A = this chain, B = another copy of it.
Amino acid sequence: MKIGIIGLGLIGGSLGLDLRSLGHTVLGASQKESTCQTAKNIGAVDHARTDLESMPQSDLIFICTPIPYIIPTLQQLIPSLKPTTIVTDVGSVKTPIVQDCTALWSNFVGGHPMAGTAEQGINAAQFKLFVNRPYVITPTPESPAESVQILADLVSSIGADVYTQYSPQIHDQAVAWISHLPVMISASLIHACMSETDSHILEAAQKLASSGFASTSRVGGGNPELGVMMAKYNKEAILRSLRQYRQNLNDLINYIETENWSSLENTLEYTQQARPNFIDS
């Protein structure tokens, strides 16, 4: 297959590495000439350009830009695309993107590979990034079934766990819970610790922070731009999750204030038992 990839960062670059290794021809596009060059050097693309001129040759195009550029990129592509070209994206929010992109291009199928790392950019691209990681495809009732199947087969061929059963709305609320809410509560942890006004305590906290703090603060120390995008494009879902979270936190504070140890223990037993529903192993 001839596959276009627009945006050669971690996700775009990693897709290119895997897809080329399976024999597909990968045509890349990035605004930066240096990124195009690196992508060629590491073998993530067969060819790369700083414009979209080669894209009309593609059978399927992955738009791997940051969220705000997905719709403008599609608009720019449309005049030169063949009707058979499937276009997909990799944005972490789906409702607003799928709605607008489907209106623009009926052969659009939204996607979300859940395979971020702490690193970004073409230099972070790696083979087999998607193996055993969720890759959500969010078709609408109008999405061409054949295009959905082609995309599903393709991401399945690079080892991802493919999900096609969730609507954009279900996807967005689900990722608000398990991806976007964690970023916000984790960032607030770091922020709260830094609010300590006693410099001896702050120094001790910084010296003694160990694996528990490292885990809980990990996603709160991530890419700020991505965090803002989540909140901006998934605002209602993330606020719904944050408000529910605040209620649960208040309950827990209340248990401690009133020394209601049995309710605290019940809650911690419940969360201990519930966690394996989300995390295997």
Contacts and interface: CB of A to CB of B under 8 A. Distances in A.
Contacts of A182: 189, 212-213, 215-217
Contacts of A205: 173-175, 177-178, 278
A59 B253 CA distance: 43
Given A178-B209, A187-B267, A272-B224, A204 B170 contact: yes
A210 B175 CA distance: 10
Interface in A235-270: 235, 238-239, 241-250, 252-253, 255-257, 259, 261, 264-265, 267-270
A192 B248 contact: yes
Contact of A170 (B179, B200, B241): B200
A246 B244 contact: no
B114 A174 contact: no
A116 interface: yes
Given A205-B278, A206-B278, A253 B264 contact: no
A191 interface: yes
A274 interface: yes
Contacts of A277: 194, 206
A228 interface: yes
Contacts of A255: 231
Nearest to A273: B221
Given A188-B248, A200-B170, A270-B191, A178 B228 contact: no
A80 to B, nearest CB: 33
A184 to B, nearest CB: 6
Contact of A227 (B136, B214, B259, B264): B264
Which interface residue of A163, A183, A228, A265 has the most chain B CB atoms within 10 A?
Answer: A228
A23 B246 CA distance: 52
16 contacts: A116-B211, A163-B207, A174-B204, A174-B208, A179-B210, A182-B212, A182-B217, A191-B274, A192-B245, A194-B274, A206-B277, A214-B279, A215-B216, A217-B275, A221-B276, A246-B250
The 3 nearest A-B residue pairs measured at CB: A221-B275, A224-B268, A174-B204
